[in-house]
Amino acid sequence: MHVDADDLTAFRRELHRHPEPAWCEFYTTARIVEALRARDVDELHVGPDALEESDEPRMSLPDQATRAEWKDRAVEAGADPDLLGRLDGGNTGAVAVIEQGEGPTVGLRVDIDALPITESDDEDHVPAAEGFRSENEGYMHACGHDAHATLGLGVLDAVRHSDFSGTLKVFFQPAEERVAGGGPMSRSGHLDDVDALYAVHIGLDHPTGEIVAGVGGFLAVSGFEAEFTGSSAHAGAHPEQGDNAIQAMADAISNMYAVPRHADGPTRVNAGVVEGGTASNIVAERARMECEVRGQTTDLMEYMWEKTGRVLDGAATTHDVEVERTLNSRAPSAESDEELASIVADVAEGVEGVDSIMDHDDLGGSEDATYLMNRVEQQGGRACYVGLGTDHPGGHHTSTFDVDEASLRIGVETLAGAIEALSETDA
């Protein structure tokens, strides 16, 4: 199999030096596109062409100034200004397609964004010691999406040079950390003819050499913000003239947690951030909170969404304030297809360096690969989420997270092998 471990490492390190947050993956997208152009793929859909067109702003889209800043930074780092011009407004990411004769259309989804975490500069932290620590201070690839993008490119290479017969589409998805990019990419049209989709995540507390052939248990999630707007008043002189945004929010919080449990399965609710008001002696005109609801299934999440919506309306009515709810992130639930998973398990057994194969594991959290997985399944296809073990010194989303680059080759060989195997089966 065609895999150059050094190339993988080099590409991953370059992305690692340029971490970018959701919807600002300007440099990252440009570097991926540059690499794909060098490979002469059959189709290349970039930015707006890789996503659903929408009149609404993307969920969790940073403001224009922030985006402009990141675009400038990408230009400075050497990205093509013409290309960047097409990516603004929530249009990062890319889809690459290679066609190799008759056979199934197979997809691979990888995500590409980074986190607002300051990377460790400890000498024990390999990126610091070896000179590829983040150059965007305050931001970091602390969840391995640099490795994911590298896997996408590596698998494409490996499949190109394999006996795979069919079509391969690699989805470089933006804005996963805000659970915001999966929806628009899933509705781009590019998923609609995919017969089998793999998605992959590195780490997740599995060591190098372990493959999880089928991750499931994704909780469906909606992250949202609720802003309450009332009227301020002097709390001593005229309490009755206020319409108290803080009191309304407090009421809503209590009632959100009290939404009834559901017999069909686990649900979740959280009000994780609150802020509001201006002074202790002023009835607050404004308050806002950042919340989320989850469910074992999409239906259960939607039950929580509907019920918490009622709670917000009820609190607004009670306290005579306005409330506006904004959806920040959303992902459905999903399970991995067992047949696709067993193909991965079979292939992994023959991959050098794999010493442990888990049949199944539950994520217990949420991610928006599920949008792409659901889309494929709704069109009659199948989808499977694969875990690629890697020794990682720090936990995900911490400043000392890092991946064992030896796992990159293992991941490419496993995924490319599974994709190749699919061309031989009735995918």
Number of alpha carbons in the 13 Å side-chain half-sphere of residue 64: 0
Choice between 3 and 287, CB closer to a second copy = 287
Binding residues: 143, 145, 177, 201, 397
Residue 394's Cβ-count burial label (10 Å; 0-12, 13-18, 19+) is: middle
Q: List the structure tokens of 64.
A: 């224009």
Buried b (16+ CB within 10 A) or exposed e, 1-31: eebeeeebbebbbbbbbbbbbbbbbbbbbbb
CB of 291 vs a second copy, minimal distance in Å? 6
Choice between 200 and 289, CB closer to a second copy = 289
Choice between 115 and 147, CB closer to a second copy = 115
Q: List the structure tokens of 40.
A: 């002469």
Q: How far apart are CA 214 and CA 332, in angstroms?
A: 17
CB of 94 vs a second copy, minimal distance in Å? 28
CB of 256 vs a second copy, minimal distance in Å? 8
Choice between 23 and 27, CB closer to a second copy = 23
Q: List the structure tokens of 276.
A: 């509001």
CB 93 within 8 A of CB 185: yes
CB of 258 vs a second copy, minimal distance in Å? 4
Choice between 158 and 269, CB closer to a second copy = 269
Residues that bind a second copy (CB under 8 A): 219, 221, 223-224, 234-242, 244, 246-247, 249-251, 253-255, 257-264, 266-284, 287, 289-292, 294, 303, 310-311, 313-320, 328, 364-366
DSSP assignment of 171-232 equals EEE--TTTT-SHHHHHTSSTTTT-SEEEEEEE-TTPPTTEEEEEEE-BPEEEEEEEEEE-B-
CB of 56 vs a second copy, minimal distance in Å? 20
Show Cβ contacts of residue 235 under 8 Å, excluding neighbours closer than 6 positions.
Answer: 242, 280, 281, 282, 283
Binding residues for Mn(2+): 143, 145, 177, 201, 397
Q: How far apart are CA 421 and CA 426, in angstroms?
A: 10
CB of 373 vs a second copy, minimal distance in Å? 18
CB of 117 vs a second copy, minimal distance in Å? 12
Q: How far apart are CA 343 and CA 29, in angstroms?
A: 31
Choice between 207 and 277, CB closer to a second copy = 277
3-state secondary structure of 325: strand
DSSP state of 135: S
Q: How far apart are CA 152 and CA 411, in angstroms?
A: 10
Choice between 64 and 317, CB closer to a second copy = 317
3-state secondary structure of 318: helix
